[in-house]
Amino acid sequence: MAVPDRMGRVLSVTSEMVPLIKTGGLADVAGALPAALSPHGWKVVTLLPAYPGVAAKVGRTEVVWSDPALFGGPVQVLRGMVGAATVLLLDAPHLYDRAGTPYGSPQDFPDNPQRFAALSWVASRIAREGLTDGWRPDVLHGHDWQAGFAPAYLRYGGETPVKSVMTIHNIAFKGMAPAAMLGGLRLPFEGFNANELEFWGQLSSLKAGLALADAITTVSPTYAAELMRHEFGMGLEGLLAHRAADLHGILNGVDEAVWNPETDPAIKPFGRAKLAARRANKLALLAEFGLTDAGGPLAIVVSRLTDQKGIDLLTACAADFVAQGGTLAVLGAGEPHLEEAMKDLVKAHPGRIGLRLGYDEALSHRMFAGGDAVLVPSRFEPCGLTQMYGLRYGCVPVVALTGGLADTVIDANPMAVQAQVATGIQFHPVDALAFAQALRRLHDLYADPKGWALMQKRGMAQALGWDTSGSTYAKLYESLTA
């Protein structure tokens, strides 16, 4: 594909980005966008906070923007490279030089409204004024609540040729702040109304972005449709329905170079043509978790342990799954009551259920390579990458029929099996009964080795990269800037 002489310019504003800092899927998407957009004529530059250790990972940098006093202290923007991607680091020690996660742990940092308003403010100033060398974007693209005020600051600053896009990765997190912070966050008092900044008497940075951006995207077509319904919109469904013409569902992709079972250094390599070689990874995974193969499927869970992810449904169904001959390996951390429930299951089923609390990237690769099925019983899932990793590695997904899970997995119903198109198992409604029934279907399908292998191979053949999504983002940018 020919790249235009003058590439379009995008300032992507995010709180995390692989390989610099990651707490969830947002980082994967932010890290993938530069390479995904480049073939389609758009140069993405990513702005994120300079948390401890991030600048060291970038290496050589130069100062390209500064402000002597922003929300309590001086700030500067450092430009550097991560591979082929250009990054801008917001260096503000008074806001970001802290131990723990980017957002605070176990409690959120009390000044998170100022910390991420600062990120948004700087993004809007760069969009308006440019960097010291004159670089300025054509499009400002904010991600989730952490960048929600960026389109607002841009709009409130007056006329500008720069257009804005706001992406919802998870609408459950709205970036709430007391209304009394309005002036301190450099927001106009006249903007505090039901159509712009106000959300149930408070400020919401996410709502601000959704109300004032030129276009809105979310990370799967099904999630875009769900967000206009009360049970998924979480109070913002009316706004999104009003802006339906500006809302676009663009499915996330995965990095097919990083998630490639034929070249993955964390596992014993295998491919569609040599699927039998996959068994070595299953045996290694059973040994790593201290599990015994009981003849049934080895299911894995790689997830935050929260109610949103349906982990309470897993704890309700795990004993029945094991009784039928299954084994279960779980990696994750989250809500204390669910962590304790998982520990109790391990004690009740030694050698059949294994648990690792926390997150380990290399272990997750080994789990997808060795597990027979990956369980994703989420109550809502904007896109989900876990099921895509499963498909890539022949680890058959068992998913709730919601969001991106519905868009990426073809259910093994009788007609799909007959047509030889099934890639996994879907269940609905999202409750313990339906999940238990899905797990019984998993046992039945696994008991047919030939049919199971064909389903694995179909999943591994799916196109799950960023080619189509990158093209779709490019067309959206072009429509805004034409």
CB 17 within 8 A of CB 31: yes
Mean pLDDT in residue range 326-332: 98
Residue 148: inside a domain: yes
The reported pLDDT for the residue numbered 24 is: 85
Burial 140-154 (b: 16+ CB within 10 A, else e): bbbbbbbbbbbbbbb
CB 90 within 8 A of CB 50: yes
pLDDT tens-digit profile of 181-213? 999 999 999 999 999 999 999 999 999 999 999
Q: What angle, rounded to 10 degrees, do the helices at 432-446 and 449-460 form?
A: 110
Shared-domain flag, residues 49 and 124 = yes
CB 67 within 8 A of CB 75: yes
Hey, CA dihedral for 351, 357, 359, 362, is it positive or negative? negative
pLDDT tens-digit profile of 75-99? 999 999 999 999 999 999 999 999 9
Mean pLDDT in residue range 304-327: 97
Shared-domain flag, residues 190 and 332 = no
Shared-domain flag, residues 215 and 293 = no
Shared-domain flag, residues 82 and 148 = yes
Shared-domain flag, residues 309 and 197 = no
Q: Is 453 exposed, middle or buried (0-12, 13-18, 19+ CB in 10 A)?
A: middle
Question: Above 50 in pLDDT, residue 2?
Answer: no
Q: What is the CA radius of gyration of the chain?
A: 23
Strands 396-400 and 373-376: parallel
Looking only at Cα atoms, what is the longest distance across the chain? Answer: 67
Provide the pLDDT confidence category of residue 219 given band limits of 50, 70 and 90.
very high
Shared-domain flag, residues 183 and 281 = no
Nearest to 224 by CA among 184, 166, 164, 272: 166
Nearest to 152 by CA among 199, 106, 105: 199
Instruction: Report whether 22 belongs to an annotated binding site.
Output: yes
Shared-domain flag, residues 235 and 343 = no
Nearest to 25 by CA among 378, 425, 430, 315: 378
pLDDT tens-digit profile of 126-141? 999 999 999 999 999 9
Shared-domain flag, residues 106 and 140 = yes
- Order of strands, sheet of 373-376, starting from the edge strand that comes earlier in the sequence: 353-357, 327-332, 298-302, 373-376, 396-400, 425-427
H/E stretch holding 440 reads helix 432-446
Share of the chain above pLDDT 90, in %: 96
Number of C-alpha atoms within 13 angstroms, CB side, residue 475?
8
Share of the chain above pLDDT 70, in %: 99
Q: Give the integer Cα–Cα distance in Å for 63 and 131.
A: 9
Whether residue 19 has a cis bond before it, omega within 30° of 0: yes
Give the pair of three-digit tokens for residue 225. Answer: 């449709």
Domain that holds residue 214: 8-253+466-481
Domain total of the chain:
2
Mean pLDDT of the chain: 96
The reported pLDDT for the residue numbered 1 is: 36
Shared-domain flag, residues 37 and 182 = yes
Question: Above 80 in pLDDT, residue 3?
Answer: no
Question: Above 80 in pLDDT, residue 473?
Answer: yes
The reported pLDDT for the residue numbered 13 is: 98
pLDDT tens-digit profile of 159-175? 999 999 999 999 999 99
Residue 258: inside a domain: no
Mean pLDDT in residue range 17-34: 93
CB 162 within 8 A of CB 140: yes
Shared-domain flag, residues 451 and 471 = no
Question: Above 90 in pLDDT, residue 106?
Answer: no
